[in-house]
Structure 1
Amino acid sequence: MSNIFSFSGRIRRTEYAVTHIILTTLMSVIFFVFGVSLFAGESAAAGATIFFVVAMLMASWISLASGAKRCHDRGNSGFFQLIPFYGLWMLFGDGDHGSNYYGNDPKGRISQADMYRAAVPAQEVLVS
C-alpha cells in the first residue's frame, strides 16, 4: 500500500475501494461512539467531540489523498474528484496503461509508445 497521506503517485481501483470501505466502516463506528457519548455527560461529550473532529479531519485527508491518486491513475488532476459522481468513474474505470505525467502504472503495464521506444534502437548520427 502506498503512503495514505500523500497526494502524489497513482493507485489501483482495488486500493481505492478498500481505502474507502475501511474509512466508511471506521467512521461509522466512531460516529456511533460519539452519539452514545453525548448521553454520557458533559465531560465525556467534550472529549468525544475533540476526538470526533480530529478523526473526521484525518478521514477527510485520507479520502482526498486516495481520490487524488486515483485521478492521477486515470491521467487527470486530483481536482477531478470534486466533480459530482466522478467517484464512480474512478471506481469502475480502468487507469492509463503505462507511465503518465503522474508516475508509473501501478499494475506494471507498459504502453504501446513505451514498447515502441524500447523496440526501436536510437538512431545513430552519421558524421561525414
Structure 2
Amino acid sequence: MFKNPFSFNGRIRRTEYGISFLIYLPFAVVANLLVESSSTIFIALLMYVPMLWFLWAQGAKRCHDRGNSGFFQLIPFYGLWMLFAEGDQGPNEYGPDPKRPDSHLQERVAA
C-alpha cells in the first residue's frame, strides 16, 4: 500500500483511496487555518502544492483502477463514486489488478 503516492501511474484499491483522502483532510484543515491567519499565507500555499499533488495522483490511480482516464476525477461527485465502485477485474491498460496482482499469471496458466 502507498507505493509511489505522488505518481500518476498505476492502480489503487478503494481502501487506499479512502485512506489517502483521510490523510489529506487534517493537512487541508491546518492549511485553511493558516490561510485565515494572513501572516502565514505563504506557508499555507506551500503546503497546498504537495497536498493537492498527492490527492490528484491518488485519484488518478483510482480512476485507472476503474478503467478510466485520471481526468474523470474532475467530474463532480465522481470521487464519491470511486469510493464505492469496484475496480476492473484483472489487468487493464493502466496496470495489473491491485486486488489480485497475480491474476494475469493465473489466466496464462488456465489458457
Q: Is TM (by shorter chain) over 0.5?
A: yes
Which residue of structure 1 lines up, in the alignment, with residue 58 of structure 2? Answer: 66
| Structure 1 stretches lacking a partner, 5+ long | 39-44, 121-128
Q: Distance in 2 between matches of 1:30 and 1:85?
A: 23
Which residue of structure 2 lines up, in the alignment, with residue 99 of structure 1? Answer: 91
Across the aligned residues of Structure 1 and Structure 2, the Cα RMSD in angstroms comes to 1.6
Q: How many residues align?
A: 108
Matches within 5 A, 1:1-128: 1-35=2-36, 37-38=37-38, 45=39, 48-108=40-100, 110=103, 115=107, 117-120=108-111
| Structure 2 stretches lacking a partner, 5+ long | none
TM-score, normalised to structure 2, is 0.87
* Residue pair 2:11, 2:61 contacting (<8 A) in 1 also: yes
User: Is the radius of gyration larger for structure 1 or structure 2?
Assistant: 1
Partner of 1:4: helix, strand, or coil?
A: coil
Identity across the alignment (%): 50
* Residue pair 2:10, 2:61 contacting (<8 A) in 1 also: yes
